[in-house]
Amino acid sequence: MRVGVLGSGQVGQVLARAFADRGHDVMLGSRDPRKQEVAAWLAGKGQGIAGGSFTETASHGDLLVLAVLGAAVEEAIGQATPESLAGKVVIDATNPLDFSAGFPPKLVWGTPTPAASERSAPRLTRTSSRRSTSSATTTSSSRTSARNGRR
């Protein structure tokens, strides 16, 4: 199978190598495929894997893996072009966390707009919706009895 991995960072490199080791025809896509770090990896650990732009890589793959930082997703998809992504399976391995301001990381929301920049990330709250064990057992037993024709 022809696999295109969009993203030349550590995640993209590991996934590209894994697909290639299993006999797939792999291309690793980068914003700048001539970048020294990408060329060095392709010549070393990435031997047998082709390098290309996001556009070339998206066109190459029957299966695509999106493995870029969350902040770079829109740019990568734009460079890959929606036409070259159409009708293909895309595995999303993006990292939506932004560690640029340290820990804890912030969630990447996409292209900042005035309205989006004023929003804060939603807070996850834990709600208590536990059923008692006896209630769950009774419900489960009732369903089993009903399936077996018993009441």
> Which helix (H) or strand (E) segment is 55 a member of?
helix 54-60
Residue 26 in domain? yes
Q: Which domain holds residue 16?
A: 2-113
Q: Is the pTM of this model over 0.85?
A: no
Count up the domains in the chain and report the number.
1
Is 11 a member of any domain?
yes
* pLDDT tens by residue, 81-116: 989 999 999 999 997 888 888 889 888 875 554 444
- Separation between Cα atoms, residue 79 and residue 53, nearest integer Å: 8
Instruction: Using 50 as the pLDDT threshold, list the residues of the chain that sit under it.
Output: 113-148, 151
Pair 79, 117: CB distance under 8 Å: no
Q: What is the pLDDT of residue 131?
A: 44
HSE value, Cβ hemisphere, 13 Å, CA-based, for 12: 30
